[in-house]
Chain A
Amino acid sequence: MDAKQLISTLPLFFVGITAAISLISFRNHYPAPLKKLSILWVFNFCVDLAGHITKYLGLKNHWLYNIYFWMLYLSLAYLYYHQIQGRYIRGSIRWFLMLFPLLILTVSVLSGIDDLQTIIIVVGGIFMIFLAASYFRQLYTSEENERISRDPWFWFSFGFLIHFGGTVPFLGMLNYLWARYPAFTNFYYLYFSNSFTILLNILITVGFLCRTTYRKSR
């Protein structure tokens, strides 16, 4: 395994650690949303692992990542629905949950699923940035006494904002960049995109570990 292969595998290592650490949410008294996010992250790891394996086998794996992004955006939107209290934001999430599958269907029928569906990535990514920013706004205006650094969703939103903010512009142009500037695309993907993924996973890990005691829910 050369240096580039090692660097490209590094994010997988971080995703794996985060998925493993996230399993502590299945201890007693952890809230249900954390358990669901843990399941999502284990799924994330499995997909990424499968992606790496298919890549080394020389098989095209964009369809795998398409399914990954569908699941990721819909699941995160659903989880944020239970975290965000604003009536209009929750309304927008309901619309997203209804319209996004239609968009997926439309793009899949029109372009197929063998190539990366960059429209899905851009739309979903922008909506995730919007949800993370909305959650920050909710924290900003909240009257609660607790330190925000002890709120797991603060760390998750921080991670999503950085990750999607950093990768959505690139992934949105990925097909175009691969076709015209493969060397630059490879470089950017290897060093920048992977860095954002690693940072996301570090912040997700911090979110799961920032607090180990939760009050028993009634």
Chain B
Amino acid sequence: MQDNLSEVTLILIGSTLIILVLTGLIVLSLFINQKRKYRYRQEKFKMTTDFEQELLRSHLEIQSQAFESISRELHDNVGTLISIAMVHIRSLSGDIPREERSKITEADSLLNEAMETLRDISRSINPENIQRLGWQGSFIAELDRIRKTNLFTVHYSEEGPPFPIEMRKQIIIFRILQETLNNIIKHSNAAHIHANISFADPEVMISIKDDGRGFDKKPADLHGAGIKNMLARASMLPAVLGIDSRPEVGTVITLAYRETLIQNNFQT
């Protein structure tokens, strides 16, 4: 009887222990597996992000080279053609009757204006020029170019002492601001542009405000290539790009760049 009891006890406790150990192993392997899956997902996400950043960098590099090439062509080819046209026009002035000379003068003036505009455009898109002037100087030059068109009243203000920023990032900051100004010129129908730069080392806040027609879409719903480029460039810095627009009131674009900013955020 005692032997039978021992056998029964052994079977009972043995089977119970086996099941408990198996259960423990199953649960442990579940936790280990989940940890492994999490680590794998993190690595995959990092690889995807790195790849996208690299792709973006290559895209911007190609774009920069294209701009450089266009700038050179504008200066070397188109600029030369305009100069030659100006020389021809001026050479005609002696042979034209006095009453027709005003047309020559006007043509000369228009060609001169075309030449200046061409130079401005060439300078604004040439990366070497941006490097020479810096992002702030280039931005001010861009505002001057817009002011000269007499289509907008441009106001510029600045606060705080400027601080140095890595050249590669200066070019990106300038391109974002340049795209913003291009959008104002093309789409806004504005009369006034207010640009403000506020330096507070290590952060700089740039705001560009117009009193144009605005829009009521959220930034996530804007599908234009220009906006996408701006957002992509901001993410590269990284910087916080804010787009606040109200129909019939205008649009405010803010760019906040901070040297130590780790994560990218988009404000709406």
Show the binding face of A for B, using Cβ within 8 Å: 129, 133, 136, 139-140, 145, 147-148, 154, 158, 161-162, 165-166, 169-170, 173, 177, 180-181, 184, 188, 192
Contacts and interface: CB of A to CB of B under 8 A. Distances in A.
Contacts of B110: none
Contacts of B191: none
Interface of B: 1, 4-5, 8-9, 11-12, 15-16, 19-20, 22-23, 26-27, 29-31, 33-34, 38, 41
A158 B29 CA distance: 13
Contacts of A170: 12, 16
A158 B25 CA distance: 11
B20 A166 contact: yes
Q: Taking each of A139, A165, A188, which has the highest tally of chain B beta carbons within 10 Å of its own beta carbon?
A: A165
Nearest to A166: B16
Contacts of B15: 169
Contacts of B26: 133, 136, 161
B29 A192 contact: no
**Contact residues of B: prevailing secondary structure:** helix
Given A145-B41, A162-B23, A192 B16 contact: yes
Contacts of B1: 180
A184 B9 contact: yes
B30 A139 contact: yes
Nearest to B29: A140
23 contacts: A133-B26, A136-B26, A145-B38, A145-B41, A148-B31, A148-B34, A158-B23, A161-B26, A165-B20, A165-B23, A169-B11, A169-B12, A169-B16, A169-B19, A170-B12, A170-B16, A173-B8, A173-B12, A180-B1, A181-B8, A184-B9, A188-B12, A192-B16
A207 to B, nearest CB: 13
B12 A140 contact: no
A161 B23 contact: yes
Query: Dominant SS at the A interface?
Result: helix
Contact of A158 (B11, B12, B27): B27
Contacts of A181: 5, 8
Contacts of B8: 173, 177, 181, 184
A170 B22 CA distance: 18
Given A140-B30, A165-B22, A170-B12, 13 more contacts: A136-B30, A140-B29, A145-B38, A148-B34, A158-B23, A162-B23, A165-B20, A166-B19, A169-B12, A169-B19, A170-B16, A184-B9, A192-B16
Contacts of A158: 23, 27
A191 to B, nearest CB: 12
Contacts of A148: 30-31, 34
A188 B8 CA distance: 12
Given A145-B41, A177-B8, A181-B5, A165 B19 contact: yes
Contacts of B16: 165-166, 169-170, 192
B26 to A, nearest CB: 5
Nearest to B14: A169
A147 B34 contact: yes
A153 to B, nearest CB: 12
Contacts of B31: 148
A158 to B, nearest CB: 6
Contact of B33 (A140, A169, A177): A140
B28 to A, nearest CB: 11
Nearest to A162: B23
Nearest to A143: B37
B51 to A, nearest CB: 21
A139 B41 CA distance: 16
A184 B34 contact: no
Nearest to A154: B30
B4 to A, nearest CB: 8
B20 A162 contact: yes
Nearest to A158: B27
Nearest to B38: A145
Contacts of B20: 162, 165-166
Contacts of A154: 30
Nearest to A141: B33
B44 to A, nearest CB: 12
B86 to A, nearest CB: 67
